[in-house]
Amino acid sequence: MPQLNIVQAINDALKTEMRRDPTVLVMGEDVGVNGGVFRVTENLYKEFGPDRSIDTPLSEAGIVGTAIGMALNGLKPVAEIQFDGFLSPAFDQIISHAARIRWRSRGRFHVPLVIRAPYGGGIRGPELHSESPEAHYAHTPGLKVVIPSNPYDAKGLLIAAIRDPDPVIYLEPKRLYRAFRAEVPEEDYIVPIGKARVAREGSDVTVIAWGAMMPIALRAAEKMAARNVSVEVIDLRTIVPVDVETVIESVKKTGRVVIVHEAPKTCGFGAELAALVNDKTFEYLKAPIMRVTGPDTIIPQARLEDYYLPDVGRCLRGIERVLNY
Amino acid sequence: MPHMTLVQAINDALKTEMRRDPTVLVMGEDVGVNGGVFRATEGLYQEFGPDRAIDTPLAESGIIGTAIGMALNGLKPVAEIQFDGFLPPAFDQIVSHAARIRWRSRGRFHVPLVIRVPYGGGIRALEHHSEAPEAYYVHTPGLKVVIPSNPYDAKGLLIAAIRDPDPVIFFEPKRLYRAFRQEVPEGDYTVPIGKAHIVREGTDVTVISWGAMVRICLQALDQLEGVSVELVDVRTLAPLDIETVLKSVSKTGRAVIVQEAPRTCSVSSELTALITERLLLHLQAPVVRVTGYDTHIPYLTMEQYYLPDAGRVKKGIEKVLSF
């Protein structure tokens, strides 16, 4: 089985679906001739030509607006927004239109659109290149939000997203793009949207993370294992719809929860998870839920991001805090 | 003391600040000659002229972008976005620029901008005219988010917002614009941003709400017998006066949060997370959320099935009591 990194796995997913289904196409800034700023769409232009690998102007609202029209008329566009911070210019198209057309038309129309965006910090980016805006889309009815943490899931979730009849915001943890390789099957397969994965089993504490926080959470779990603390790590994989059953099952066993995310804390998705856990497993909790998150400020540029992003040390302190309560 | 509706109190706040400070101006769609779709800016064009009551094109992104430039150059614009659902076209200007300029310039520049928006359901409107989008802005560092629930607070909070050195999103519960009158002092006064208000004291349950839902909560309280409910109007969602909330919940041990917005990843989530984080051992029941559903708010008469009403608030209170 080939060993692929996340970029290659996403490229493979796109190629697989574009070969299988002639209505699938990619579009975005430099995704065609150039092959994408991160090389995610490399060679799609050569294989599928300019009609299915479309270079667009630098206009995010235009990209998503055009893609909505395509999706309404029988195509399955996979639109790339080059960086997380450039989702904001397309916000109106996403929130006011893509997310609403099924509802607005009482189910007569739907928008099978995937919006791919490299997201999150860790690459020493300039401003608007390191954001984690998943909470904005999680709060918006009518959207699915998917965030893979490894090459296998990246391919399977992207194929599932393309086949989904409704708009999916697919956020790719850019710092993991080339961080490691994993076995990725050549054929097509899906990882279902809405299913979390228990990445490591444990019995003392549940750590919930997604995207680029997963390797950090797993390293923290390893370090705790050396201290005889058994940490269960859940990779959420899908933010909306959230797999609350997997979370509840774990919390019933451990009674202690740490949530790790990059985004600012206030009204981040960690807040919703904490609220859900409190709602469903209140009597099982042995300690308050700990959120290890970005602080409530804008993620700083370049090296200063080290002080912003949760790291193994901060995860360990979070775990210790719920253990010592 | 004059009795004013909420919309009159907002008009009075604008007039008061525009008289006091020549750098304050209003701008937006139909805010000038016409006086505003809800009459919030009525008479301002006549008193202050076209340079301080500026009619803009129908372009929300342009309104906010222009207002940011004005604010950076010594003016204090109060920009109106005509309806909550028209904030997304301006989202990029708000989130990527207004909210970031103090941070981006390491404090050399700041943006004393107020964005006023009629918000929420309850007026049987069409699409994009009944949204409650406060969570997007509460999650964005660099913004303050204020939502008054009555005329007195509306005037005092709006004056505080205009005097604030940083951008404030000021949501006006449109269904309350003319719902009732209240005594509103004539001169200038502020209601401080970041301070909740205990509307009613009680000992059994804390109900936390804001905007138009405060009145719905009061209706529910009036229908309940034999339960002592403390009602907290948070008034400001960012920064959140969590101390007042925690003080109340540590006394009652039970909390119900009532909001219009969809539930998932909302301000009710953050409040629940904060309360359970700090007060787990005080809680006698899980925090209950009474909210809009995770769907778009429907049009016209269907909205009554979406918006929390006194009955749903009562059920929430009963649920938290019977745990």
Looking at the partner chain, which of A91, A269, A279 has a beta carbon nearest the beta carbon of B265? A269
Exposure string (b/e) for A28-39, b if CB count within 10 Å is 16 or more? bbebbeebbbbe
From chain B, the residues in CB contact with A135 under 8 A are 135, 139, 265
Determine, for residues B280 and A267 on separate chains, whether the beta-carbon distance falls below 8 Å.
Answer: no
pLDDT > 90: percent of chain B: 99
ipTM comes to 0.97
Give the per-residue pLDDT at B300. 86
Q: Note whether B148 and B247 are within 8 A (CB).
A: no
Q: What is the pLDDT of residue A176?
A: 98
The answer to whether the CB atoms of B100 and A89 lie below 8 A apart is no
Q: Determine phi and psi for B66, rounding to 5 degrees.
A: -65, -40
Inter-chain contact B287–A278, Cβ cutoff 8 Å? yes
Tell me the two tokens of residue A122.
């860790």
The mean pLDDT of B142-153, rounded to a whole number, is 98
| Chain B residues inside the 8 Å CB shell of A139 | 135-136, 139, 261-262, 264-266
Nearest Cα to Cα of residue A242 among B263, B270, B278:
B263
Q: Please give the pLDDT value at position A302.
A: 87
CB contact under 8 A, A278 and B103: no
Residue B143's closest CA among B121, B108, B171, B177? B171
Report how many helices (DSSP H) and strands (DSSP E) chain B contains, helices first.
11, 14
pLDDT 10s digits, B43-74: 999 999 999 999 999 999 999 999 999 999 99
Q: Mean pLDDT, consecutive 10-residue segments, chain A of 325 residues? A: 96 98 98 97 98 98 98 98 98 98 97 98 95 98 98 98 98 98 97 98 98 98 98 98 98 98 98 97 97 97 94 98 96
Residue among B139, B166, B267 with most chain A CBs within 10 A, to mutate? B139
Note the pLDDT of residue B301: 86
Confidence at residue A216, expressed as pLDDT on a 0 to 100 scale:
98
Q: Which residues of A touch B (CB under 8 A)?
A: 85, 88-89, 91-92, 95-96, 99-100, 103-104, 127-128, 135-136, 138-142, 240, 242, 263-264, 266-272, 274-275, 278-279, 282, 285, 287-291, 296-298
Average model confidence (pLDDT) across chain B = 97
Measured distance CA(A194)–CA(A147) in Å, rounded: 11
Would you say B9 and B151 are in contact if contact means Cβ atoms under 8 Å apart? yes
Judged by CB atoms closer than 8 Å, whether chains meet at B270 and A135 is answered as no
- Residue B36: the pLDDT is 97
Alpha helices by DSSP H, chain B = 6-20, 44-48, 60-72, 91-92, 101-104, 134-138, 151-163, 213-223, 242-252, 267-279, 310-321
> Would you state the pLDDT for residue A137?
98
Which chain A residues have a beta carbon less than 8 Å from that of B264? 138-139, 240, 242, 272
**Active-site position among B3, B97, B110, B129:** B129
Closest approach of chain A CAs to the CA of B75, in angstroms? 25
Write out chain A residues lying below 8 Å of B240, CB-based: 266
- 3-state percent breakdown (helix, strand, coil) of chain B, nearest 5: 40, 20, 40
Q: Do A100 and B127 touch (CB under 8 A)?
A: yes
Q: Is A120 exposed, middle or buried (0-12, 13-18, 19+ CB in 10 A)?
A: buried
From the list B95, B269, B280, the residue facing A288 with the nearest CB is B280
pLDDT at res. A317: 98
Q: Which residue of B lies nearest to A297 if distances are taken between CA atoms?
A: B141
